[in-house]
Amino acid sequence: MNMWVFRRKGPSGFSASSTAEEVTQGIDAAGLTALVTGASSGIGAETTRVLALRGVHVIMAVRNMATGRDVKDAIVLQNPAAKVDVMELDLSSSASVRKFASDFTARALPLNILM
Protein backbone atom coordinates (compact mmCIF):
# COMPACT_ATOMS: atom_id res chain seq x y z
CA MET A 1 0.00 0.00 0.00
CA ASN A 2 1.30 3.44 -0.86
CA MET A 3 1.93 5.97 1.90
CA TRP A 4 -0.15 8.59 0.05
CA VAL A 5 -3.29 6.87 1.38
CA PHE A 6 -2.39 7.95 4.92
CA ARG A 7 -1.86 11.56 3.89
CA ARG A 8 -5.11 11.89 1.94
CA LYS A 9 -7.52 14.14 3.80
CA GLY A 10 -11.00 12.87 4.55
CA PRO A 11 -14.28 14.79 4.75
CA SER A 12 -13.22 16.25 8.11
CA GLY A 13 -10.21 17.90 6.50
CA PHE A 14 -7.82 15.70 8.49
CA SER A 15 -5.82 12.60 7.66
CA ALA A 16 -4.24 9.73 9.56
CA SER A 17 -1.12 11.86 9.89
CA SER A 18 -2.93 14.84 11.47
CA THR A 19 -1.79 15.72 14.98
CA ALA A 20 -3.95 16.32 18.04
CA GLU A 21 -2.85 19.94 18.02
CA GLU A 22 -4.02 20.35 14.41
CA VAL A 23 -7.36 18.70 15.10
CA THR A 24 -8.07 20.81 18.21
CA GLN A 25 -6.76 24.11 16.85
CA GLY A 26 -9.15 26.96 17.69
CA ILE A 27 -10.99 25.01 20.40
CA ASP A 28 -11.36 26.72 23.78
CA ALA A 29 -12.20 24.00 26.28
CA ALA A 30 -11.77 26.15 29.40
CA GLY A 31 -14.16 25.07 32.14
CA LEU A 32 -14.00 21.37 31.26
CA THR A 33 -12.36 18.71 33.40
CA ALA A 34 -10.77 15.60 31.91
CA LEU A 35 -9.51 12.43 33.55
CA VAL A 36 -6.74 10.79 31.52
CA THR A 37 -5.59 7.32 32.54
CA GLY A 38 -2.11 6.23 31.60
CA ALA A 39 -1.14 9.88 31.42
CA SER A 40 2.51 9.45 32.34
CA SER A 41 3.65 8.19 28.92
CA GLY A 42 2.79 7.73 25.27
CA ILE A 43 -0.60 8.74 23.99
CA GLY A 44 -1.84 9.48 27.51
CA ALA A 45 0.88 12.07 28.06
CA GLU A 46 0.26 13.61 24.62
CA THR A 47 -3.50 13.69 25.25
CA THR A 48 -2.87 15.43 28.57
CA ARG A 49 -0.57 17.98 26.93
CA VAL A 50 -3.01 18.90 24.16
CA LEU A 51 -6.08 19.02 26.42
CA ALA A 52 -4.20 21.32 28.81
CA LEU A 53 -3.12 23.44 25.84
CA ARG A 54 -6.81 23.89 24.98
CA GLY A 55 -7.70 25.01 28.52
CA VAL A 56 -8.99 21.75 29.99
CA HIS A 57 -8.30 21.06 33.68
CA VAL A 58 -6.63 17.64 33.35
CA ILE A 59 -6.42 15.05 36.10
CA MET A 60 -3.57 12.69 35.25
CA ALA A 61 -4.36 9.22 36.63
CA VAL A 62 -1.02 7.41 36.91
CA ARG A 63 0.53 4.40 38.61
CA ASN A 64 3.94 6.02 38.99
CA MET A 65 3.58 9.38 40.72
CA ALA A 66 7.21 10.43 40.12
CA THR A 67 6.90 9.90 36.37
CA GLY A 68 3.50 11.60 36.39
CA ARG A 69 4.94 14.65 38.15
CA ASP A 70 7.77 14.79 35.59
CA VAL A 71 5.25 14.82 32.73
CA LYS A 72 3.17 17.47 34.49
CA ASP A 73 6.27 19.63 35.06
CA ALA A 74 7.20 19.38 31.36
CA ILE A 75 3.66 20.38 30.32
CA VAL A 76 3.58 23.35 32.71
CA LEU A 77 7.05 24.43 31.57
CA GLN A 78 5.75 24.55 27.98
CA ASN A 79 2.37 26.02 28.98
CA PRO A 80 2.48 27.91 32.32
CA ALA A 81 -1.31 28.41 32.26
CA ALA A 82 -1.94 24.64 32.18
CA LYS A 83 -4.22 23.25 34.87
CA VAL A 84 -2.89 19.75 35.50
CA ASP A 85 -3.10 17.60 38.62
CA VAL A 86 -1.52 14.19 39.18
CA MET A 87 -3.36 11.49 41.12
CA GLU A 88 -2.34 7.92 41.80
CA LEU A 89 -4.42 5.19 40.17
CA ASP A 90 -3.56 1.55 39.57
CA LEU A 91 -6.44 0.06 37.59
CA SER A 92 -5.31 -3.47 38.51
CA SER A 93 -5.99 -2.77 42.20
CA SER A 94 -9.58 -2.38 43.39
CA ALA A 95 -8.30 -0.68 46.56
CA SER A 96 -6.44 1.89 44.43
CA VAL A 97 -9.54 2.45 42.28
CA ARG A 98 -11.71 2.99 45.39
CA LYS A 99 -9.18 5.42 46.90
CA PHE A 100 -8.87 7.31 43.61
CA ALA A 101 -12.67 7.57 43.27
CA SER A 102 -12.98 8.84 46.84
CA ASP A 103 -10.18 11.39 46.40
CA PHE A 104 -11.56 12.57 43.04
CA THR A 105 -15.09 12.91 44.46
CA ALA A 106 -13.72 14.93 47.38
CA ARG A 107 -12.39 17.51 44.91
CA ALA A 108 -15.99 18.21 43.79
CA LEU A 109 -14.92 18.59 40.17
CA PRO A 110 -17.12 17.79 37.20
CA LEU A 111 -16.02 14.94 34.95
CA ASN A 112 -16.58 16.09 31.37
CA ILE A 113 -14.04 13.92 29.54
CA LEU A 114 -12.78 10.42 30.40
CA MET A 115 -9.87 9.08 28.38
Each residue's pLDDT tens digit, 24-83 = 888 899 999 999 999 999 999 999 999 999 999 999 999 999 999 999 999 999 999 999
User: Can you tell me the distance from the alpha carbon of 39 to that of 65, in angstroms, rounded to the nearest whole number?
Assistant: 10
Q: Could you tell me the pLDDT band of residue 4, with boundaries at 50, 70 and 90?
A: low
Better pLDDT: 2 or 88: 88
Topology of the domain covering 34-114: Rossmann fold (3.40.50)
Q: What percent of the chain has pLDDT over 70?
A: 94
Predicted TM-score (pTM) of the model is 0.86
Q: What is the tens place of the pLDDT at every residue in 67-106? A: 999 999 999 999 999 999 999 999 999 999 999 999 999 9
**Edge-to-edge strand ranges of the sheet holding 113-114:** 83-88, 57-62, 33-37, 113-114
